[in-house]
Amino acid sequence: MTEEAYKNGQVLLIDKPLTWTSFQVVNKLRWEIRQRFNIKKIKVGHAGTLDPLATGLLIICTGKQTKQIDTYQGQVKEYTGTFTLGGTTPSYDLETEIDNIFPTAHITEELLHETTKQFMGEIQQKPPIFSAIKKDGKRLYELARKGETTEIKERTVTISSFEITEIKLPEVGFRIICSKGTYIRSIAFDYGKALNSGGHLSALRRTKIGNFSVDDALSVEEFITNLKIKS
């Protein structure tokens, strides 16, 4: 692919590695493209953040295609992963340590499947305090990491599918299809609460955004190799 092609606009499907931030992926690809073509500037952005502890599909746009980022961000998303029941964490995932323990002996396969129905359709959801949402110019996770608390407003999101795919208590595998702005970590927390227990997100992978699939995505390393070979 040529320098002109990247400037005119490309949609790149990348499988985000574990522990990388979405911004690190963007910065890495931008640097590699600049190095390859010896250019000072090129626009590169992502269409929807993934947490560092999540893997899966990132849509990366270059050049003029960055104008379409909002369109891609607004599309329906599919996730798979694992909830771990019996304990909560302040971040609702593994970024922070378990702070409360809850019973799980009463949880049956039937209860797990039945409880998913509470989350179908339009629901009200409160995002985690450990999130990239801005309040008064600061990211909420910046406040959370300092131990500061703040009131977070609920938001309306839509869950079109919530399927339990595997049960190995305390771990429960899931597949969820949802609207823009849905926090799977919040579903993990709320789902645990609805089971009269506790829960946190222990694995997450974004598998689809609209018609785009992670099956068609490249790893960062594969993208760099292709860039050097094909350009």
Which among 2, 25, 3 has a CA at the least distance from the CA of 14? 25
Is-catalytic flag, 51?
yes
Q: Is the peptide bond before 127 cis (omega within 30 degrees of 0)?
A: no
E strand or H helix at 155, and its extent? strand 155-168
Cα separation, 77 vs 222, in Å, equals 24
E strand or H helix at 186, and its extent? helix 184-194
Cα separation, 5 vs 84, in Å, equals 44
Q: Is the peptide bond before 103 cis (omega within 30 degrees of 0)?
A: no
Cα separation, 225 vs 215, in Å, equals 18
Q: Out of 51, 99, 190, 215, which one is annotated catalytic?
A: 51
Catalytic (active-site) positions:
51
